[in-house]
Amino acid sequence: EVTLQIGNDFPIKINFEIAGGRGKVGYLLAPRIESE
């Protein structure tokens, strides 16, 4: 099962379990901020 969350403080948060539920992985995807 993969869970996707969209919020105001983060663009996309992805959570899922690995190794038959023995581990959890979470990714926070955010746009790159470029300064000039």
**Residues 30, 10 contacting (CB under 8 angstroms):** yes
Token digits of residue 13 = 């948060």
Look at the block and give the residue holding tokens 């992805």. Answer: 14
The pLDDT tens digits for 16-32 are 999 998 999 999 988 77
Q: Which residue has the higher pLDDT, 20 or 9?
A: 20
Q: Tell whether the model's pLDDT for residue 7 goes beyond 90.
A: no
Instruction: Return the pLDDT at 34.
Output: 76
How far, in Å, CA of 20 to CA of 1, rounded? 11
The whole-model pTM stands at 0.63
Dihedral angle computed from the Cα positions of residues 33, 7, 25 and 34, in that order, rounded to the nearest 10 degrees = 0
d(CA 3, CA 28): 12
pLDDT score recorded for residue 8: 78
Which pLDDT score, from 0 to 100, does residue 36 have? 73
pLDDT value for 33: 75
The residue extents of the domains of the chain are: 1-30
